Amino acid sequence: MSDNFTACRELLSDRHYLLSSLVPFMRDQRGDVWVGDRWHRDLMMHLRYLPHMIILAAQVDHLEGEDATRVEPEPGQSVEFVATGPMMTGRRQIPRVLPGMIRAMRQALARADAVHSGAAGWPIPPGLILNPMVVRRRLPLVINIESAFWRIPEGTDASLRWRAEAAATERFARWTCRHARLGIYTQRSYAESLPVGPGGISAVSPATWIHQQDVLTPDALARSWQEKPADLRLLLASRLTAEKGTGVVLQAMRQLEAEGRQLQLDVVGSGSMAGQIAEFAAQAKSLRVRILPEVAYATEFLPLLRGYHAALVPTTGDEQPRVILDAFSQGVPVIASDTAGNREVARDGQDAIFVPAGDAAALAQVLADPSLTPQRLRGLADAARDKAAASTHEMMHDQRAGLVHDALKGHMPERPAGGSR
């Protein structure tokens, strides 16, 4: 265990760290808690330096889209899941769910010594209720800004309601960060636009799921490239929604199809635009577009990536997609939109090929360029692997453990005499 993990664990050995999560959990008939495999991977790493956690999250009857994994803390660790209500799918549910959410937050806060929260969420940000309660109780607040999905991508024809909601969320996010003891941001632009207040600690820590053992060795990378097919193969692994750039990819594919270009693209993901992708795949003649079933992250997704020459990351927003480092861990470069989040982890011409965000014609031009060959992409693979090796999940949490320790030391509430909070 690293020095940062040890120091943070000792500081919080008899304290409760409350984390508000947008990711739901499931409870079986025996009362055991199950979460998606990616959230489970992250949670177990949290518990290495946050030994006693309370998780506020929505409870669902079943988990969709990935393998469910049972939460089993190790000796000396404890984690309690507190349901804020069912997973809301629309604004009409807010009046029915909100009272229970407030009660759950109050009960959890009564035992919390520090709170880890966010500033956004749909259809209502949990932090909108939780964060002011934390500030009133004078508990230290840790804010993690992984994305600013409420922001409207440049050039988007947004409705008046959308613009009003985005502006309101931006104001609340700024208020929240000003009251944070610690602000953790996945990119510098977030730290600059949503700064912490005086006395707070601010740090940039790109998000990653990959473990050290997930990163191919140089020898394994060389073998994987020898085993790839001769024809160029690309992968789009994403939520199939407009903000993730699915529409940009679809427009580029239609242009290439109209020009009679030949290309193979596999798609993994689900979302509101999945039907449009499937319809295009069924009608395409020169392009080969396959829809693949979603797979478990830890055991199947990374090996799947290994079979491709590049991954498409066409995001139009400013978030930092984890799939970039996923691909890099397998020595697979990316063809990515030139956004602030993508630039945080990828370098044009070194481990990535950048395309102007939201520009379908530019993407089509890159994909149709005769120079886009397996050999050219192989030249980007070693740098991609090296970037992943320096950006593992363990390294991310080691940095964050040190930050949490420094932010909370001397700033947690005094313990009542003769007992714990």
Q: Does residue 372 sit in the same domain as residue 397?
A: no
For the chain, what is the domain count? 2
3-state secondary structure of 78: strand
Q: Structural domain of residue 107, as residue ranges? A: 3-208+393-408
User: What percent of the chain is modeled with pLDDT above 70?
Assistant: 98
Q: Does residue 277 sit in the same domain as residue 322?
A: yes
Q: Does residue 129 sit in the same domain as residue 277?
A: no
Does the structure show a pLDDT above 80 at 418? no
Look up the CATH number of the domain holding residue 250: 3.40.50.2000
Residue 155 within a domain:
yes
Query: Would you state the pLDDT for residue 200?
Result: 97
Q: Does residue 65 sit in the same domain as residue 115?
A: yes
392-408 tens-digit pLDDT:
999 999 999 999 999 99
Strands 310-313 and 233-237: parallel
Does the structure show a pLDDT above 90 at 47? yes
Q: In terms of DSSP H, where are the helices of 16-93?
A: 37-46
Query: Would you state the pLDDT for residue 63?
Result: 86
Entry pTM:
0.89
Residue 419 within a domain:
no
What is the DSSP-derived secondary structure letter of residue 217? P
299-317 tens-digit pLDDT:
799 999 999 999 999 998 8
What gap in Å lies between CA 95 and CA 17, rounded to an integer? 28
Query: Would you state the pLDDT for residue 306?
Result: 96
Q: Which residues lie closer than 8 Å to 396 by C-beta, 6 or more apart? A: 205, 206, 207, 208
Does the structure show a pLDDT above 70 at 420? no
Please state, in angstroms and as integers, the Cα–Cα distance from residue 109 to each residue in 13, 177, 378, following that order. 18, 19, 52
Please state, in angstroms and as integers, the Cα–Cα distance from residue 41 to each residue in 72, 299, 317, 354, following that order. 12, 12, 26, 30
Q: Token digits for 386?
A: 């090296």
Does the structure show a pLDDT above 80 at 51? yes
Give the gyration radius of the chain's Cα atoms: 22
Q: Does residue 267 sit in the same domain as residue 162?
A: no
What gap in Å lies between CA 339 and CA 357, rounded to an integer? 6
Q: Does residue 201 sit in the same domain as residue 271?
A: no
Q: Which residues lie closer than 8 Å to 93 by C-beta, 6 or more apart? A: 86, 123
Residue 418 within a domain:
no
Q: Does residue 266 sit in the same domain as residue 147?
A: no
Residue 413 within a domain:
no
Does the structure show a pLDDT above 80 at 298? no
> Average pLDDT of the chain?
94
Does the structure show a pLDDT above 90 at 336? yes
Does the structure show a pLDDT above 70 at 416? no
Does the structure show a pLDDT above 90 at 78? yes
Query: Would you state the pLDDT for residue 156?
Result: 80
94-138 tens-digit pLDDT:
999 999 999 999 999 999 999 999 999 989 999 999 999 999 999
User: What percent of the chain is modeled with pLDDT above 90?
Assistant: 88
Q: Token digits for 405?
A: 């320790």
